[in-house]
Structure 1
Amino acid sequence: MLDRWSEHPVRPVPVRCPASVAMAVVPLLIAIAARLTPLSSLLASGSARAFDFQVWRPLVFSLTTSSVISAVLTGLLLVLIGYQIEPMIGSVQFAFLYLLCGVGGSAAISLAGVLYSFEGSMCGLFGLMAASAVVKYVQKQDIRADIVLLTMFIIWAIVVGSNTWVADIGAVVVGAVSGWAWLQTRWSSYLRQLGAGLAVLAVCLVALVVTWVM
């Protein structure tokens, strides 16, 4: 008599995370293109008056980085985090959240008066980590490692004199709020989930508009 497990072996279902891979590859391509073209001047964010009302800048801020090495390292971390988060919330919402955290980072540097930044890829990563930490906290999981890691990254940015720490904090705040909003709407309709995300986006854009008109 054949063993039923040998007749019907259990095969692991491959986890597909297309949004994670895409969000990891695009900043690398942008970093390479920025070395060959004036792309950085078109996509950078900040409080410079020349950037006022150019809405595409905050929307793509999380895809920007001037360092190929930074793009590779950030991409690897993003894929690792994506394998945990993307199957839970879906590819579309994962990509939206990644870009949304970049908008939060862009709003933060504009409010802080940072004139120019082309280092937004870490914003998306930190925002995703913050959203994941909020979800794990509500589920009574240990988030001390998440807090320590985020704190270390931000302190390192401050120590080396980078102005990206301001954007990182903005992204963490937006990511945490988005994680909480997802928990409130995860059993609701897709439109309600989308509405929660758009509400967070609207707040960030209003903050940006305030800096543009002042």
Structure 2
Amino acid sequence: MTDHHPEPRSAPRGLPWLRFLIVGLLIAADLWTKHAVFAWLTPVAGQAPSEGVEVWITGRLRYEVLGDFLGFMLSLNKGAAWGFGDSMPHLLVGGRVVASIVLAVLLWRADRRHPWTLAALALILSGALGNLHDNLLQPAAPDHPYGAVRDFIHVYFYWWKYHFPTFNVADSCITVGAVILIVGGLFSRAEEPAVAGAATEPGTDAA
């Protein structure tokens, strides 16, 4: 008589559509903040800048949020972080398209019993799509086949006279999501030996 082995059940996914609703809300927040800040700070010919906006040491218009440390400053980035990849636009945008597809599949198939993984994937996917929107749907930048990504959050470390690269909400989502994945992975590895040890303790085997 042959043994009957039950078919392995797929991981519970809960309500996958809810995950993509969250992604959509994060993308909406990214696009709205880009539009609002750029409309507010973009100088209009013949008009003075908005109240509180000044020309900063970089020569750009800047609005202080937390003094010199944090402010809004407009920047159009044709590359990735720190402007990397601006000389390879097709590779950069193509990579973003592929990454977005892979992340969407992973988010759809992810196990709902791992909420931190779900949160990380949703954050990274929303950030990737938010910046991809600018590449594909914004007017092409000069001498560039795609639109530039709109950045506006500026951080300045006065003590080191260092300007952190200007970023946006999408970049923040990607960074936070990546940190969650890394920290979650470290905690998972730390828990594995403890779980394995508990499983091999005397008296844990089934009679």
Output the TM-score relative to the length of structure 2: 0.31
Which structure has more helix as a fraction of its residues? 1
Q: Structure 1-normalised TM-score?
A: 0.30
Larger strand share, 1 or 2: 2
Structure ID, larger Rg: 2
